[in-house]
Structure 1
Amino acid sequence: MIKNKDKRAKVYAKQKHEKKIEKQKKIKARDAAEKLALELGEEPPQKMVPKIIENTREADDTVCRPDDQELFADIDADEFNPVLRREVTPKVLITTCRFNSTRGPAFISELLSVIPNFHYHKRGTYDLKKIVEYAKKKDYTSLIVVHTNRREPDALLIIGLPNGPIAHFKLSNLVLGKDIKLFIISLQNHGNPTSHEPELVLNNFTTRLGNHFFQSLFPQEPNFRGRRVVTFHNQRDFILFRHHRYIFQTKESKQSGTKGKDGVAQERVKPRLQVRNHISFMCVWIYQFIYVGIYVQECGPRFTLKLVTLQHGTFDTKGGEFEWVHKPERDTSRRRFFL
């Protein structure tokens, strides 16, 4: 309502300064109350949680809850139930589209190193329905088709065998293991995975749509000796895939033959650390003479998946029944997630 620009600016600056002072007073009062509660041995006041898109998501009826009896009934009738109950060992067949690219085989070779039970067969001119029938006869539990466009892998088609379902994922942000580098040193510093069965980490898959699908691709008995971890992290319906190896390294103090001024043998601490192309590391001092290092090394590949369609049954382009289809009309709210 103030027409003069200078007066309006001064009033706005004064209001802004008053809000800043009030905010600082609230922060000091909250810190003082927390300090007083700790001195008295009481529980500190509950901290305020900032509102973000993840914790303000819209209510969804398909969210899995621990006390949901209907969910447990669906698990017993799930297509992946034999694999999850360890009655059947996962066996995955990987193939490509008919028009393959130069980067597609490199991506497939790194996928083969992620899971020991992956098998690759060249597509050739075979129809996908014939490949599905062949995979059923050979007792494969899943079929993965890597689709490429303009010499770049852009989609994954994962078919559950023998009865489906079929998931079509859009693939983006692909980084092969040989292209993973350190933040500072410009060298090829990716890890070399072993043949051990990896541990599987699934984050933020809270609905029935995203439950048990990726779990059926991996063996249910990981070999912890190999220290391999495969992660599927769901963030706003974008699935981030990562493959790491973790390393524990301990260095103890060594006794030397040197003597001090009083003639008593002294211990010389020489913590030596061999950095072997690790992307990130976390070091903890436990005692004065013991050094412990925990390292995480990324092996690759690294990519992002986005679910496009979920089809019931095996591959059928004409008479197939779609259980879920992503449409732009459903993206009316940024706080609505489906996985």
Structure 2
Amino acid sequence: MDFTEVPVDQGRKSKKKNKKAPMKDLKMEEESSGVEKLEPGTTFPPTFSVSEIKNKQRRHQMFMKLKQEKRKQKMQLKKKRRKEREALGDKAPPKEVPKTIENQRVFDETTVDPEDEEIAFDEGTDEFSAYFNGLTNPKVLITTSDRPRGRVVKFCEQLATVIPNAHVYYRRGLALKRIIPQCIARDFTYLIVINQDRQTPNGLVLCHLPDGPTAHFKVSSVRLQKELKRRGKAPTEHSPEVILNNFSTRLGHTIGRLFAALFPQNPQFVGRQVATFHNQRDFIFFRFHRYIFKNEKKVGIQELGPRFTLKLRSLQKGTFDSKYGEFEWVLKRHEMDACRRKFQL
């Protein structure tokens, strides 16, 4: 048999060539895939899709470059419009209003018109007419669910400092059907029940006496006075001013009047205190402030607390009755929250 000698150097070279070969193949694949490094200032083709890139790292890099490119184009367009506006001066067109969920809201047929005769008649004959005609003064009873603990007790006490003529009583296992006749006999106009879950307020029942209605709210984002940063001093006993924002539908109009009847009609401006119920996307944000006059032109505000957020769950005719009560409105989450641009309040 014939044997041929193979030089050691050639074998080593061939191994090195084999190792370098995959690198060439990778470069060929990158060129064939059409993904190339973009130089600054280059634009992407209109049919370009980042999702077509299979390599995760390269896809992320291309996505960030695409995002930077869009940001640059947006800034250039903004500068161009600003220069045109400065050049035109007073003849410049009005600024475009940004699109939000609020101004793109779906029109509701039950939107209240203040000049409507039907609305005026309802206001004169509803359950709150005696209060708005000045025949009754608000007197509020605040109670809790059984065995209140922790933040629930403090929340009730601080709520009593916000609402004038409010009294806190512990429930002691009594049913609401037994509490309501006692409240009516003692001339209370409101019953507020704070429910709890894991020692935190999670629900609020607001019952107007003696004829209703009764509203049930979910409570969230509760912040007590000590939990607020840069808070002012404790609230005084002066009657606050009341601000109601964005209660535009018939249901929202009823809820707004329900909140308004909690406070006396004649606020004491000496106290400089304001209670605000702000409705935004069917979430009612409550804030309690004191305003301070710094000089003739500037005014500052201090938040006094507490603060919380309400979400209406149901509105019931008459006083609280869980079995035989007639409900005017009940939240059906999967049906009513299907469209993000349609609101109930």
Smaller-chain TM-score range? 0.7 to 0.9
Change (3 A) 1:142 1:19: closer
Name the residue aligned to 2:23: none
Corresponding residue to 2:233 among 191, 195, 205: 191
Name the residue aligned to 2:11: none
For 1:68 and 1:164, how far apart are their aligned partners in 2? 24
User: Is it true that 1:224 corresponds to 2:269 in the alignment?
Assistant: yes
Corresponding residue to 1:13 among 44, 47, 52: 44
Change (3 A) 1:12 1:197: same
Name the residue aligned to 2:171: 123
For 1:100 and 1:334, how far apart are their aligned partners in 2? 36
Whichever structure has more strand as a proportion of its residues is 1
User: Is it true that 1:36 corresponds to 2:88 in the alignment?
Assistant: yes
Give SS of 2:103's match.
coil
For 2:268 and 2:88, how far apart are their aligned partners in 1? 48
What amino acid sits opposite 1:13 in the alignment? F
Q: TM-score, normalised by structure 1?
A: 0.77
Residue 139 of structure 1 and its aligned partner are, at CA, apart by 1.6
Change (3 A) 1:22 1:114: closer
What amino acid sits opposite 1:36 in the alignment? L
The sequence identity of aligned pairs, in percent, is 46
Residue 6 of structure 1 and its aligned partner are, at CA, apart by 2.4
Q: Which moved more, 1:16-25 or 1:87-96?
A: 16-25
Name the residue aligned to 2:189: 141
Q: Cα deviation per residue 1:64-104 (whole Å; 9 max; x = unaligned)?
A: 12333322222112211111222211111111112312222
Gap runs ≥5 in structure 2: 1-31, 47-65
For 2:173 and 2:74, how far apart are their aligned partners in 1? 71
Residue 14 of structure 1 and its aligned partner are, at CA, apart by 5.7
The root-mean-square deviation of aligned C-alpha atoms, in Å, is 2.5
Q: Is the 8 A contact 2:145 2:194 kept in 1?
A: yes
For 2:263 and 2:170, how far apart are their aligned partners in 1? 22
Larger radius of gyration: 2
For 2:36 and 2:124, how far apart are their aligned partners in 1? 71
Residue 45 of structure 1 and its aligned partner are, at CA, apart by 2.1
Change (3 A) 1:30 1:319: same
Q: How many residues align?
A: 287
Name the residue aligned to 2:53: none
Q: Cα deviation per residue 1:289-322 (whole Å; 9 max; x = unaligned)?
A: xxx7532111110111111111111111111111
Q: TM-score, normalised by structure 2?
A: 0.76
